[in-house]
Structure 1
Amino acid sequence: MTNLFEQNRNYVLGDPELEIIGDRDKLAQWRHKGMGPAFYRLGRKIIYRGADLNSWAEANRVEPVAGGQN
């Protein structure tokens, strides 16, 4: 598994690295719907762990099918 995010780092809203999965609004929509990567809510602060982001990204990985779709 390739890590897109630093495993031992915490990311907060506004960190440019989070833009790889979605903007602030998209992340807010996912949190509201119970979707997207795991996160911590500490008061009004939202924190994503790099390990959780990598796990979520790996779970959403798509393997192309040889020869394409018919």
Structure 2
Amino acid sequence: MARLFDNTRAYVLGDPELEIIGNREKLAQWRHRGTGPAFYRLGRKIIYQGTDLNAWAEANRVEPTGVRN
């Protein structure tokens, strides 16, 4: 499993590292739909744990099939 994010770090909206998976609007859409990475809501603050971001990224990994037309 590749680590795209630091497992020991908490990420908040506005952190440039989050741009790897989506901009603020995309992350908000995913939170609303319940489809994005796990997060904490503390008041109005949204916090993502590095371990949750890495787990979500791994779950969305696509393995190429190697089939050519």
TM-score, normalized by the shorter chain, greater than 0.5: yes
What is the CA-CA distance between 1:67 and the residue it aligns to? 2.6
Alignment of 1:50-61 (within 5 A): 50-61=50-61
Question: Which position in structure 1 is the counterpart of 2:19?
Answer: 19
Cα RMSD, aligned residues only = 0.8
Residue identity opposite 1:2 in structure 2 = A
Unaligned residue ranges in structure 1 (runs of 5+):
none
Unaligned residue ranges in structure 2 (runs of 5+):
none
TM-score scaled by structure 2? Answer: 0.96
Structure 1 residue runs of 4 or more that deviate by more than 3 Å after TM superposition: none
Question: Which position in structure 2 is the counterpart of 1:48?
Answer: 48
User: Structure 2: how far apart are the matches of 1:33 and 1:66?
Assistant: 32
